[in-house]
Amino acid sequence: MTQALWVIIPAAGVGQRMNAGFPKQYLSLAGDTILDRTISIFIDHPMIAGIAVGLGAEDGYWPDSKWRNHKQVAVFVGGSTRSDTVRNGLQFLHEQQQIGCQSVLVHDAARPLLTATGLARIVENNHPQGAILAIPARDTVKCQTDTGKVKGTLDRNHIWLAQTPQKFPADVLYEALKKADQQALAVTDECSAMELIGWHPDLVVGESSNIKVTLPEDLLIAEALISQRH
């Protein structure tokens, strides 16, 4: 039987591209905040041991969360970047839950539409070098020149769009993120850090509905998807 996993949700960012005037994870989405909807995916799920939410040091919105006192939810102080927050979360789980080599999931705070099916796929995957949810590229993919012109067309048969959750052994992920930081290498997801240490994680087919709310139009799409589900 698959062991129940802890989930780290980095939620210390401000979401500048949303231009909301406050952190985008606290925007309203179908009656709840985006963050509360994201957390609800994992609450009381048999494959989830707990949820560790990384908050900004001066976060004044979390006290209004409906999950703030839930037995499965713990909070820790995040960092200035996503990778800093995830690393802080891994340290928190090591200290509070004695998690070492056990795998953990990392999920974007602004991905509130992950389905139970998608979650099951990543939890049940046992690839020794970890796994990520992702979807194959459907559109024609272009690369650009330094001046913003078309440089060429990439083979979309080899292009996948990364999603979350991403699943890796906690101790190895911590060291990979630490190494990336020491070398001043920017990593935009956990898989990027694992690639830097030579790992080749498994690609687990995700779902197109598992969108990340980044721009104002994404919020409208998320609202429509939720309405369709109900």
Given this model, what pLDDT does residue 6 score? 98
229 falls in which pLDDT band (50, 70, 90)? Answer: confident
Structure tokens at 68: 């703030």
pTM of the model: 0.95
CB 115 within 8 A of CB 40: no
Query: Does the pLDDT at position 29 exceed 60?
Result: yes
- Average pLDDT score over residue span 83-89: 97
Query: Does the pLDDT at position 2 exceed 90?
Result: no
17 falls in which pLDDT band (50, 70, 90)? Answer: low
- Average pLDDT score over residue span 39-58: 96
Structural domain spans, the chain: 5-229
Given this model, what pLDDT does residue 25 score? 95
**Which CATH superfamily groups domain 5-229?**
Spore Coat Polysaccharide Biosynthesis Protein SpsA; Chain A (3.90.550.10)
Q: What is the DSSP string of 116-169?
A: HHHHHHHHH---TT-EEEEEE--S-EEEE-TTS-EEEEE-GGG-EEEEEEEEEE
- Average pLDDT score over residue span 6-13: 96
Given this model, what pLDDT does residue 21 score? 75
Q: Alpha-carbon distance 91 to 86, whole Å?
A: 9
14 falls in which pLDDT band (50, 70, 90)? Answer: confident
